[in-house]
Amino acid sequence: MGNRKANTSGRIDLRGYTYEGELRCNKPHGFGKEFDRTGGLNYEGFWQYGLKNGQGKEYRSRVYDLVYEGEFKNNHYEGKGIFYFNNGYVYHGHFEDREFQGPGVVYAPDGELNFVGTFSKNKKDGIGFQYYKGKVIKGEWEEGELIRQIDPDHGSRDYFESIDREKKIHFDEILFELGVEMPSLVPSRTSIPLTDQTVLKLDPSLEKAIRKDPRIQNPNPITIGDMKQLYYLDCSYGEWIKDLTGIEHAVNLSDLDLSGSLDDSIIELPDLSCLVNLNSLNLNSTNISSVDSLANLPNLADLYLQDTCVTDLKPLARIKTLESLSVERDWVDLEDLKFLVERNPSLTIYGYNDDEDDDDYDDDCDLYEDED
């Protein structure tokens, strides 16, 4: 048997770029990452002897925004993949030498279907279906231009009337007609890739609070990119928020105040583990009864739980960064508080008792301190 050289791991410079990952013969080989001069991530994925080959992801390094994910061959997009445009559109299909080539599907920024057809050198070319505001045009394209509309009497009618009802052509049949033999080419609506330009449908009360931020005081729909601009969000004692969907995109948020603003139907927060910068969270005067999901917050330091329905605090022991906890003494178990302090000696706990005046606490418990 011949000697096979094993991969090593390391960091090398590549003509102005830096590579970190597996190496063979001092060349990128295996899984690794490429960074620009500023440290921004350009690429992560597989390599073969210095060239990108196999599955990988390419980024706009300055903003860490995904550009492409899929198959690479000798540094080029080759095979099946997904390309993300700056304007929020997404192409999901075949590539050849970094260009759209063959069957593909285009989605609009709101996730709606935009085009199904074939491409050549980045342009629509061949039979395809163009969708717009619920309507569809079936036609033939050449170098990106519509040269012939097929069945013009039906092309301008509503999609469901002209295509689904009269021709009985469903989405999978459209792909079959185009010669696309890989249904997996088209992701489900729930898996449509998201970009900074993706428009979010937010709870009206949550959106109203978000628009108080001076960076988002414009009439345009709120996007994922807008959410990334939030550093402090004050929803306190505003209109009732019934759904927090979308807040997970505020990845730079450091201070979130939801006190007195959540509808009584919200008894537990959704998974907010994406909010890696969240330092302070205020849930005072809410109907929150469980803190299980809060244990996934990696950098939470200050937590306010006064006038809530929380009785079990033990899950908070998993938050190693927690520095201060404000609770209502009547509603929590003293043993839970002692348990938290044993697990995290640097934790300071504040609280009050409705049955006592001011801040006169039990002499047997030194876990409470006057916030004033």
DSSP labels, 213-251: SGGG-SSSPPBHHHHTT-SEEE-TTSSPB---TTGGG-T
pLDDT at 209 > cutoff 60: yes
User: Residue 258 is which amino acid?
Assistant: L
Residues sharing a CB contact under 8 Å with residue 36, sequence separation 6 or more, in sequence order: 16, 17, 18, 42, 61
137-181: pLDDT as tens digits = 788 889 988 888 876 444 444 433 444 443 334 445 445 544 444
**H-helix or E-strand containing 60?**
strand 51-60
CA 316-322-326 angle, to 5 degrees, is 75
Q: What is the pLDDT of residue 156?
A: 40
Under 8 Å CB-to-CB from 331, ≥6 apart: which residues? 308, 309, 310, 311
Q: What is the pLDDT of residue 352?
A: 53
Q: pLDDT digit string (tens) for 76-123?
A: 999 989 998 887 888 988 999 999 998 888 888 877 788 888 899 999
Q: What percentage of the chain exceeds 70 in pLDDT?
A: 78
pLDDT of residue 364: 39
Answering whether pTM is above 0.85, one says no
Distance CA 9, CA 24 (A): 9
Average pLDDT in the 292-301 region? 87
pLDDT at 5: 57
Which among 285, 281, 333 is positioned nearest to 306, based on CA atoms? 285
Instruction: Give the confidence band of 220 by pLDDT, cuts at 50, 70, 90.
Output: confident
Which positions ≥6 away from 233 have C-beta within 8 Å? 209, 210, 213, 247, 250, 253, 255, 256, 257
Q: Name the residue with tokens 């628009």.
A: 211
Using DSSP's 3-state secondary structure scheme, residue 338 falls into helix
> For a pLDDT cut of 90, what percent of the chain falls above it?
30
pLDDT at residue 349, rounded to an integer: 86
Tokens of 27: 């060349």
pLDDT band at residue 48 under the 50/70/90 scheme: very high
pLDDT at residue 235 tops 80: yes
Range 180-202 average pLDDT: 56
Domains of the chain: 8-191 (2.20.110.10), 204-352 (3.80.10.10)
The residue among 31 and 180 whose pLDDT is bigger is 31
Give the whole-angstrom CA distance, residue 368 versus residue 372.
Answer: 12
SS (H, E, C) 144-197: CEEEEECCHHHHCCEHHHHHHHCCCCCHHHHHHHCCCCCHHHCCCHHHCCCCCC
- Tell me the per-residue pLDDT of 62-80, one tens digit each, with 9 for 90 and over: 555 788 999 999 999 999 8
Sign of CA dihedral 76, 78, 82, 84: positive
Give residue for tokens 């061959």. Answer: 73
Q: What's the CA angle centered on 333, arms 332 and 335, to 5 degrees?
A: 145
Q: Do 64 and 72 form a contact (C-beta atoms < 8 A)?
A: no
Residue among 228, 202, 196, 206 nearest 215 (CA): 228
Q: What is the pLDDT of residue 19?
A: 94
Which carries the bigger pLDDT value, residue 135 or residue 80?
80
How confident is the model at residue 64, as a pLDDT? 53
Q: What's the confidence (pLDDT) of residue 353?
A: 53
CA 222 to chain centre: 14
Q: Is 46 helix (H, G, I), strand (E, B) or coil?
A: strand
* 278, 300 contact by CB (below 8 A): yes
Looking at residue 266, the DSSP 8-state letter turns out to be -
Average pLDDT, the chain: 79
- Check residue 265 and give its pLDDT: 87
pLDDT at residue 371 in the model: 43
